[in-house]
Amino acid sequence: MNLKFGLTVVLTLGAVSMARAHVRQRAFVESRQGEGQESLLHWSSSIRLSMHDFTAAGGTLGKSSTLSSTDVETLLQTSIAQWTGTLYGGLTSSLASLMNLNAGKPHLLTGPTADCEYISRNTGDDTNNILFTSQIDSSCGEELTDSGTVGVTRVRYFSSSGIIVEADIQFNDDTFRFTNTGSNTFGTTPPVVNLKTTATHELGHLFGMDHAPGRHSSMVYASGDGQDDTDTDDQMGIFSLYPPISNASSLSTLRGSVTTSSGAPVFGASVWALNARTLTVEATEMTDVNGAFEFCYVPPGPHISYANRFKPFEAGVLSDYFVGTGNGVTVSDTSGCFNPACSLMTLATTYSWDTATPSASGAADFRVFNLTAGTSHSSLSLAQRTTEITLTDVGATTGTARAITIDQPVLSRSSTSTLGAGNTTSLGYIDYYSFVVPASVTSMSVSTAAFKINSRIKLTLGLRNSVDGAVACTQTVANEATGTDARMVCDDLTPGATYYVRVLGDEGIAASLVPGNPVSVNQDLVTTNIPYYILSVYQTGASGASAVAEALSATSLAATRYQGMPTCGIYSGAVLDSTLDHSVAGKKSGCCGTLGSGGPNDPDAFRSFLLALLLSPILWLVLAREFYKRFRRR
């Protein structure tokens, strides 16, 4: 749980438990089709949402919330539009065609209490309910009892295909006072939450989306400001489940792999793709057991990338598919791991930046690669790091500034010093970078990424010239509450002149404001005490390919060395590496299609039981013996 309160989604194999899903654009579950299969959670038919009309039933929300059913209905309509309306580049997801709603307006169910259905016991009513904890009859046994959970989404699905048959959302107004304006204030009694931030997140789960690792995303796994609107990462994720209904060729596809220095696959690594100019996080994904990943949709243009293991590893944050029930941080121990490839997830993995060797002046140039619209690119091959990258201090004066190339992002750190656990002010870390304005250009932009990459350093930007000193620029100020990083646009510059970017790291935010902190000792140092950041200088309004980009590899390492690659447009398929001896671990953990993996809560469980029975040699021996006895008696 990060921040103060966690958002929970229930997406275990054909059952329901209070566990969070793994960090991936789309929610994957182990399939019953056979060993080494996984399926994507998704809807294949019309979705109708029903909201409990507590006002008509004479009820009110808990903790003195003044929201009426009409207020909630209006708010939900705007949250639904974040997933079904006009998204990136004017594209619309095909999810919109599945929504059986009146302009995104949920159907109201009246009654003294909210619908009682026991979805966790597989007796759902096939109604997709949206309800509040205070309105549920206590005899239902479905109400939230975890005071730290703001909202929960329960999903029933076929484990053979990943097709969702029912999903319910519950908002915990027994603990939180919900509003429809303002920011979240968790430090009050009761804590106050803008309902739209939670509603947009939980609707993402209902549609089949999983958690995301960065604070920029609506699907980040904890409640906070800025989640009310979907980000580029969220929208690329929903496109990957429900492709754009038109003009999908305006986007790109990128696949690749993460491997160790010896070429072994890295399972469960979180891979990030950032726009190389604006440093917007445009897609995140998690590697499968082959170390492979695929961004089904990502905007075209220049990009940079890096990978890191998701932390913390506790089963309360990642799904059983990635850590195993009760496996804690000992993810390499397959004896308790749901997925037989858990031995390939290592605690030693740290942030694996896709950069060149750091220069003597401290910062390291990122490798930039261009993505072309309508093209499927292969492959981005990333190498896992087990030690932190060595970066020295960048020059603290204009005379010792680190020269930077236009369109060439750099990885840097504000200081070789480390941060403490709490808020740290008046640090006084200063870095200078110099650049030359291209000919015929008068406006340049500078972007940074610190909060975006879960670093704790708050940056302030400035621009200077060699003659008059400070130059006025339009500033976007860093905001730790929303995860906004510093950015500036500088106009009326002199073509061919040299300018100096001043980066001031004067404050370190508290570790508790970074996703995943503080939870355990198994944290990435970038999220605890190393003040990393990324800086990019580019022509304002620049679009299209970058001249500094390098070519991608022709073939993914995962594709050449291991079987199975994730495939866009296919909801279920093989992913396991054939070189692994996964049969023993699979049977030991009860996964991979063995009888009982879904349990009585899996809609597929009964048909799987019949199939196992028909294929059982013991059954046929018993039947043969019975026929033999009857024949002898005759």
C-beta atoms surrounding 418 within 10 Å: 12
Instruction: Calculate what percentage of the chain has a pLDDT beyond 70.
Output: 71
Banded model confidence at residue 41, pLDDT cuts 50, 70, 90: confident
What angle in degrees, to the nearest 10, is found between the helix axes of 232-241 and 69-84? 80
Between 192-201, 286-295, 446-455, the lowest mean confidence (pLDDT) is in 286-295
The answer, yes or no, to whether residue 552 has pLDDT greater than 80, is yes
146 contact partners, CB below 8 Å, separation of at least 6: 8, 18, 172
* Range from 318-322, 347-351, 457-461, 481-485 that averages highest in pLDDT: 457-461
As a whole number of angstroms, the distance between CA 396 and CA 402 comes to: 9
Q: 6-241 is classed in which CATH architecture?
A: 3-Layer(aba) Sandwich (3.40)
Mean pLDDT for 356-368 is 86
Starting at the earlier edge strand, list the strands of the sheet with 292-298.
Answer: 292-298, 252-259, 376-383
Per-residue pLDDT tens for 225-240?
A: 778 899 999 999 999 8
- Helix or strand or coil: residue 234? helix
Q: Give the end-to-end CA distance of the chain in Å, rounded to a whole number.
A: 70
So what's the pLDDT on residue 288?
Answer: 74
pLDDT of the residue at 116:
65
Average pLDDT over residues 472-496: 94
- The string of pLDDT tens digits covering residues 411-440 is 999 998 888 777 888 899 999 999 999 999
How far apart CA 298 and CA 213 sit, in angstroms, is: 17
Is the model's pLDDT at 454 over the cut of 70? yes
Q: Which of 107-111, 543-547, 594-598 bottoms out in mean pLDDT, i.e. has the lowest?
A: 594-598
Same topology, domains 6-241 and 248-539? Answer is: no
Q: Is residue 201's pLDDT more than 60?
A: yes
Alpha helices for 279-340 (secondary structure H): 320-323
Contact 166, 127 (CB under 8 A): yes
User: In degrees rounded to 5, what are phi and psi of residue 490?
Assistant: -120, 115
More confident residue, 307 or 143: 307
CA distance readout (Å), 9 to 119, 244, 320? 14, 26, 13
User: What is the number of helices (H) and of strands (E) in the chain?
Assistant: 9, 30
Amino acid at 48: R
Question: What is the C-alpha R_g of the chain?
Answer: 26
Beta strands 164-171 and 128-132, pairing class: parallel
Confidence of residue 34 (pLDDT cuts 50, 70, 90): very low
Calculate the CA 517 to chain-centre distance: 16
Tokens representing 376 are 């499927």
- The count of other CB atoms within 10 Å of the CB of residue 194 is 20
Does residue 137 carry a pLDDT above 50?
A: yes
For residue 266, pLDDT beyond 60: yes
Residue at 608: amino acid letter: S
Q: Name the nearest CA neighbour of 393 among 419, 364, 420, 363.
A: 363
pLDDT value of residue 511: 76
13 vs 204, more confident: 204
What CATH architecture does domain 248-539 belong to? Sandwich (2.60)
Residue 515 is predicted with a pLDDT of 65
pLDDT at 376 over 80: yes
Query: CB count, 10 Å around CB of 348?
Result: 11
pLDDT tens per residue across span 326-336? 333 333 444 44
The confidence score (pLDDT) of residue 610 equals 39
Mean pLDDT of all residues in 294-299:
90
Asked if the model's pLDDT at residue 625 lies above 50, the reply is yes
Average the pLDDT over 389-407 and give the result.
Answer: 92
* C-alpha–C-alpha distance, residues 61 and 174, integer Å: 8
Q: Where are the domains of the chain?
A: 6-241, 248-539
pLDDT at 593: 19
* Burial of 496 (C-beta count, 10 Å sphere; 0-12/13-18/19+): exposed
Q: How confident is the model at residue 297 (pLDDT cuts 50, 70, 90)?
A: very high
Q: What is the pLDDT of residue 457?
A: 93
Higher pLDDT, 558 or 266: 266
35 band by pLDDT with thresholds 50, 70 and 90: very low
- Overall average pLDDT of the 186-199 stretch: 92
The answer to whether residue 499 scores a pLDDT higher than 60 is: yes
User: pLDDT band at residue 585, thresholds of 50, 70 and 90?
Assistant: very low
Instruction: Considering only residues 513 and 314, tell me which one the structure prediction assigns the higher pLDDT.
Output: 513
Query: C-alpha distances in angstroms, 582 versus 207, 334, 552?
Result: 31, 10, 32
Question: Does residue 209 carry a pLDDT above 80?
Answer: yes
Are the C-beta atoms of residues 327 and 315 closer than 8 Å to each other? yes
Q: Is the pLDDT of residue 472 over 90?
A: yes
Is residue 441 scored above 80 in pLDDT? yes
Question: Could you tell me which of 291, 233, 302, 297 has the C-alpha nearest to residue 264?
Answer: 291
Q: Which of 66-70, 210-214, 515-519 holds the top average pLDDT?
A: 66-70
**Closest to 157 in 3D by CA, of 567, 571, 570:** 571
Indicate the average pLDDT of the chain.
Answer: 77
**What pLDDT is recorded for position 615?**
45
Q: Is the pLDDT of residue 523 over 60?
A: no
Q: Is 63 exposed, middle or buried (0-12, 13-18, 19+ CB in 10 A)?
A: middle
The pLDDT, as a whole number, for residue 21 is 28
For 99-106, which contacts have Cβ atoms below 8 Å and span 24 or more sequence positions?
A: 99/46, 99/47, 100/46, 100/47, 100/48, 101/47, 101/48, 101/49, 103/77, 104/76, 104/77, 104/80, 105/73, 105/77, 106/49, 106/50, 106/51, 106/73, 106/76, 106/77, 106/80, 106/130
